[in-house]
Structure formats: structure tokens, C-alpha cells
Amino acid sequence: MTELTEPAPFTLEYAPSKESTAVVSLRDEYGLWIGGEWVEPRSGNTFPTINPATEDQLAVVAEAGEEDVDLAVTAARKAYDGGWRDLPGRERAKYLYRIARLLQERSREFAVLETLDGGKPIKESRDVDLPLAAAHFFHYAGWADKLDYAFAGRRARPIGVAGQVIPWNFPMLMAAWKLAPALATGNTVVLKPAETTPLTALLLASVLEDADLPPGVVNIVTGAGATGAVLVGHPGVDKVAFTGSTDVGKRIQTELAGTGKRLTLELGGKAANIVFEDAALDQAVEGVVNGIWFNQGHVCCAGSRLLVQETVADHFLDRLRSRLDTLRVGDPLDKNTDVGAINSQKQLDKIRELVASGVDEGAEIYQPACVLPDKGWFHAPTIFTGVSASHRIAREEIFGPVLSVLTFRTPDEAVEKANNTPYGLSAGVWTEKGSRILWMAERLRAGVVWANTFNQFDPTSPFGGYKESGFGREGGRHGLAPYLELEPV
């Protein structure tokens, strides 16, 4: 009699499919883009920007000091008073449309540069960051001539000069989230990209030039946190929009209190992704994977806490671990890569420290047997089970590819555990019952609640936080309000 053996698990071998970098031409050094021109930094200071996947230097970038920021704010004020404020909305819209079209035309170049400078997989920068960035400009181009209809009984006026500080996790997309509504509403801007990812914002300057945007309407000042602090504190700035860590956001809010400057903050998160026993479990596994391993978990709304109903927890976690084993970690320029490089050595150290705390505090760690590249900053996708609410990995934003799993028995307990965080940016609910989705959404204290999906972004949909995740909304009609004075008609 022939003995029956288990069939070998089906595996697929992937040949490397590396995106060419020929489409990108980098300069050795970049100045500041102020008043529609490239200028040398008065500070005399520069800093290198590094490819996190190889640790090679990509370029040297100017570090704007007080005098540089002052020049940029002065240029933005001149452009505001000199015509941008009074330009009819239909004319502003034309610039926004042009920017959107130019971004579409050059999207491969931008996507490759985003991946080189930031470490995210090319398939994400190509299929998510760039299309969404262009979509934001298109969306707000459509609003530019309809502002008086957007808020019933109110007349919409621009605020003035906006100082915008953005982070490194979605450099180009965050620039679009900030610039598109500000320009559509008639404001001018000084934008400060993150220290580790300045290059796509600097490339955007060439798009703004090609779109014939009047000089000074957008100014781009690169630098580190100190440059951001100078911009935020500059007396010529009327409105501050900040996306980044909760610590820095709190500092900015304290500093701006009483100054009359308008402020919006989009800060950290520790979102719950909640899986009920009646959910389509295979679909939920994909949603959990997308929720935490998209962009290496460098996502403020990442589903970093999985709450799974106790009755299906073992079964669900088996499937999740098997799926994790198939994720491909490595070269971000390879089109097969699912998890790319960690953005900086500093961020990798932070992730490692928090992962070590999870092990020390008694949670059980699972990592697939993946081989990490020798060079560059990489971290294996990680799942912690046996996590309790008091563990640091359940409370603190790790901002890396690390999932903490907790279980629950009843919907009330799921809500209680999901809301047991100082943050409130997003949440996910997986269940086949529509009534349960609505019941949960009413009780979850999160700016966005996704149902049977996760990390879905659309320019028409407002995004923003509760509690320590910040305030103000970006996207959609709501995203216009932070850039407008709304006067009674």
C-alpha cells in the first residue's frame, strides 16, 4: 500500500524585478526654493540625505536658519499681498490642475525618488503615494472657485501665510495634503519637509516652476526640527499646519497659545483593528496585513493593535502567521517587495527598543524566517501575542512593522479596549453584520472608522484625530475650513 504524504506547501519563487533609477537625475547639492528661485542658505549649513536601504548618501541639502526662514516668509507674504489672495478661484484652480497633471506625467520619477529617499516599497510609492498626491491637487482644484458655496451662509476668505511642517512617512503625499487646500483657498505657503526625506519636495519645486506658479506662492525650506521650530514661531506666519509626533505637536500648541495663529495638528496613533468571529477571516487577514505592514508600519493611522474575538483567535493567528511568512522584505526598489527599509537609524533604534520591551514585559514574539539585507536599516515584520493593555507595546506608538495582539469576548469589551488609548486617529471593524459596524462606529473614539477594509484614503474624505491624535481635518470639504476665515454674509 502506498503511504499518503502531506503535499508540500505551495511556494512561489520571485525573480528580482528592480525598478530602474535612470529616470531620476539628482543634483549633488540642493539650495532652498524661495520666491521662485533656488537660493544658497544664508545659514551656510547643509546636511546629507541618505538612502535608508543602502546607507549611501543621495545628496547634500541646505539647512535653513532664522534668516532663511524669514526670507521665505517674506516672499510668501509678498506673493499673498501681491495678487494670489485676490486671484479669482477659477484662476487658482488652473494652477492646481496643472500641478496635478504634471505630477501624473512625472509620477514614475517621483515614485522612484520617494523610494530612494524614504525606503518605502516602489509598488507603494508608485500605486499609492503618487496617484493620491495628484488626486489631492485635482480635488482641491475643483473647490477653488466654489468656496462661497462650501459653507452655507458664510463668506470664505483666505488666512494669509501658512507655515506647514510635514513628516517623513509620506513625504510627497503629505506635501499634497498640505499644499492643495492652502493654495485652493488663496493662501501662500512656506513648507518644511522632514530632515530625512527632503528630495521629493525639492523635485516638486520644478513642477511648480513648470506650472508657472507665481513666485513666492510656495516656498520650500529644508532643515531639521530647529528649522521647523523657527517657521512655526515666525511672527509673519498666520496659520500653522503640522503633521508629526504628539510630543512635538504638544510643544507647538503650547507655543502658539495666545498668538492668534490658527493651528491644525495631525499627530500619532495606536489604532485598533477589531476582528469579530463572524468576519470573513481571510479577508480580515489581508486587512490586518495592510493595516500594519503597509509602509513598514510608518503610518500614523496604522492598525498596530489587533483585537481579535477570543473564539477565533487561535485560528485567526495561525492564518496571520502563515501570511506573514510570505511577505517579502528587502530592496524597496524591487517591485516584489512588500516591506522595505526603516526610514532612519534613529527610527530603527526606537523600534528595536520597543520590541525589546515587549519581550521583557512577557509578550510572545513571532517573526518569520526572512533574511534581512546586510546593509541598510531593516526590521523583520513582528507579531506579539499575549499582550496586555499595560505593556508598552500596547500603549506607545512604535511606528514600525510591529503588531500587538489582544483578545476580547464581547462587543462592549472590544470598544473599551479599542478606546483605551490617549490617541484617536483611526480604527477598523471586521464583521459581516452591518448593524454591528454602525454600533461600533458610534462608540469608537477615532477620526476614521474603516469597516471590512483598512488604510483606504480618498481626497474627498476628511481625515484627522481625536484626543492626542490632534485636531482639524484634512481632505474633502472639511479640509478647506482650516485655511479659511469664514465670515457671516
Q: Which is nearer to ligand NDP, 109 or 266 (CB)?
A: 266
Residue from 201, 232, 307, 355 touching ligand NDP (CB under 6 A): that is 232
- Smallest distance, Å, CB 479 to ligand NDP? 16
Which range of residues in 59-67, 159-167, 319-327, 451-459 is near ligand NDP by CB under 6 A? 159-167
- Smallest distance, Å, CB 171 to ligand NDP? 9
- Smallest distance, Å, CB 296 to ligand NDP? 12
The residue with cell 549649513 is 45
Q: Which is nearer to ligand NDP, 158 or 228 (CB)?
A: 228
CB 42 within 8 A of CB 68: yes
Which range of residues in 64-72, 239-247, 363-371, 445-453 is near ligand NDP by CB under 6 A? 239-247
The gap between the terminal CA atoms of the chain, to the nearest Å, is: 90
Which range of residues in 14-22, 144-152, 189-197, 272-280 is near ligand NDP by CB under 6 A? 189-197
Q: Which is nearer to ligand NDP, 251 or 477 (CB)?
A: 251
# chain residues binding ligand NDP, by CB under 6 A: 27
Q: Which of 300, 301, 396, 468 is catalytic?
A: 300
Q: Decide: is 380 part of the binding site for ligand NDP (CB under 6 A).
A: no
- Smallest distance, Å, CB 193 to ligand NDP? 6
Q: Which is nearer to ligand NDP, 31 or 118 (CB)?
A: 118
CB 129 within 8 A of CB 109: no
**Residue 315 cell numbers, joined:** 485560528
Residue from 94, 108, 251, 335 touching ligand NDP (CB under 6 A): that is 251
Q: Is 170 left (phi over 0), alpha (psi -120 to 50) or beta?
A: beta
Residue from 350, 436, 445, 478 touching ligand NDP (CB under 6 A): that is 350
Which range of residues in 49-57, 261-269, 327-335, 456-464 is near ligand NDP by CB under 6 A? 261-269
Name the β-bridge partners of 485.
157
Site for ligand NDP in 64-93 (CB under 6 A): none
* 169-187 exposure pattern, b = at least 16 Cβ within 10 A, e = fewer: bbbbbbbbbbbbbbbbbbb
Q: Decide: is 224 part of the binding site for ligand NDP (CB under 6 A).
A: yes
What values do phi and psi take at 154, rounded to 5? -125, 145
**CA distance to 143, 223, 299, 337, 470, per residue, from 296 (Å):** 34, 24, 8, 11, 23
- Smallest distance, Å, CB 216 to ligand NDP? 21
Residue from 49, 164, 200, 243 touching ligand NDP (CB under 6 A): that is 243
Residue from 19, 124, 338, 397 touching ligand NDP (CB under 6 A): that is 397
Q: How many other C-beta atoms can be found within 10 angstroms of the C-beta atom of residue 370?
A: 15
Residue from 195, 238, 331, 474 touching ligand NDP (CB under 6 A): that is 195
Q: Which residue is closest to ligand NDP by CB?
A: 228
Q: Is 143 left (phi over 0), alpha (psi -120 to 50) or beta?
A: alpha
Closest alpha carbon to 68 in 15, 31, 110? 31
Q: Decide: is 194 part of the binding site for ligand NDP (CB under 6 A).
A: yes
Q: Which of 63, 266, 397, 474 is catalytic?
A: 266
Site for ligand NDP in 287-346 (CB under 6 A): 300
Is 266 labeled as catalytic in the residue annotation?
Answer: yes
Residue 390: partners with Cβ closer than 8 Å, 6 or more residues away: none
Q: Decide: is 49 part of the binding site for ligand NDP (CB under 6 A).
A: no
- The DSSP secondary-structure symbol of 368 reads -
* AA letter at 165: V
Q: Decide: is 399 part of the binding site for ligand NDP (CB under 6 A).
A: yes
Q: Decide: is 468 part of the binding site for ligand NDP (CB under 6 A).
A: no
Residue 268 burial class via C-beta count within 10 angstroms: exposed 0-12, middle 13-18, buried 19 and up:
buried
Report how far residue 156's alpha carbon sits from residue 250's, in angstroms, rounded to the nearest whole number: 29
Report how far residue 159's alpha carbon sits from residue 25's, in angstroms, rounded to the nearest whole number: 37
Dihedral over Cα of 227, 204, 98, 264: its sign: negative
Bridge-based pairing state of the strands 364-366 and 382-385:
antiparallel
Q: Which is nearer to ligand NDP, 69 or 383 (CB)?
A: 69
- Smallest distance, Å, CB 192 to ligand NDP? 6
**Residue 402 cell numbers, joined:** 510591529
Residue 290: partners with Cβ closer than 8 Å, 6 or more residues away: 454, 455
Q: Which is nearer to ligand NDP, 195 or 334 (CB)?
A: 195
**CA distance to 131, 150, 188, per residue, from 336 (Å):** 19, 43, 40
> Which amino acids are annotated catalytic?
266, 300
Residues near ligand NDP, by CB under 6 A? 165-169, 192, 194-195, 224-225, 228-229, 232, 243-245, 248, 251-252, 266-268, 300, 347, 350, 397, 399
